[in-house]
């Protein structure tokens, strides 16, 4: 039997390469999204890279993910440092 078709697929997706995550990150940095929306997207990318890095810590394969996390953090914080906090509609947050 190949599994119950009524059960959700819990097969884990293979980890994306750090280059693929970084491409999505550079696309995010090039966007003109409000900081709150950009931060949400950043957090999802961060969580993805961090999960893989945690699984591979201490291995040769983990190094590129750790370097990616450092680059992402520095770039994001420098890009949005001092940016006014706005909601998805572009209105200032109080």
Sign of the torsion angle spanned by Cα atoms 67, 20, 77, 36: negative
* Domain limits, the chain: 18-80
Where does the pLDDT of residue 14 fall: very low under 50, low under 70, confident under 90, or very high at 90 and above?
confident
pLDDT in tens, 34-55: 989 999 999 999 999 999 999 9
pTM, entire model: 0.72
Where does the pLDDT of residue 3 fall: very low under 50, low under 70, confident under 90, or very high at 90 and above?
low
Pick the closest to residue 65 from 14, 19, 29 (CA basis): 19
Q: Which DSSP category does 86 fall into? A: B
pLDDT in tens, 64-82: 999 999 999 999 999 887 6
CA–CA dist 20, 91 (Å, integer)? 32
Q: Kindly state the tokens that stand for 37.
A: 């929306």
């Amino acid at each position: 039997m190949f599994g119950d078709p009524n059960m959700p697929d819990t097969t884990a997706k293979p980890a994306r390469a750090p280059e693929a995550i970084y491409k999505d990150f550079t696309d995010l940095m090039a966007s003109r999204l409000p900081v709150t929306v950009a931060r949400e997207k950043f957090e999802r990318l961060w969580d993805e890279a961090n999960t893989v890095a945690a699984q591979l810590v201490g291995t040769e394969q983990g190094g590129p993910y750790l370097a990616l996390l450092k680059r992402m953090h520095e770039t994001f914080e420098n890009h949005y440092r001092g940016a006014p906090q706005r909601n998805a509609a572009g209105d200032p947050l109080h």
